Amino acid sequence: MDKAWIKIISITGAVGVVGLLFSILMNNMFNSEIVTLLGSEKLFYILILLICGFTIALIIAIMKPKGETQPFGQSKSSEPSKKIDVTYDNGSTHNGDNKF
């Protein structure tokens, strides 16, 4: 795989993977062996179907929400976490971190 494709995939994600697969398919689709085997008319219809599939795949890949990943245990807010101390009637304490 070309270094440019690695950079494209690392930046765009799923859209880059779809683009790479489409590029590989298009490079191999126009081999003289394939053209003589299928004929120009069948190859035309196959290419139209592939372009439609590619368009649908790109629309799905673009509309897919990108999940925000956060390290485990960190809250979404930028505020520092508050110190919570709870003392129960029987003498138990709770520090707010669910570690009793």
pLDDT of 96: 65
CA distances from 58 to 20, 61, 97, 99 (A): 12, 5, 43, 46
Domain boundaries, the chain: 3-63
Q: Per-residue pLDDT for 68 more than 80?
A: no
Residue 27 or 72, more confident: 27
Residues 37-62: tens digit of each pLDDT: 888 899 889 889 988 988 887 788 78
Predicted TM-score (pTM) above 0.75: no
Q: Mean pLDDT in the chain?
A: 77
CA of residue 19 relative to chain centroid, distance: 13
What does the pLDDT read at residue 51? 85
Residue 69 has pLDDT above 80, yes or no: no
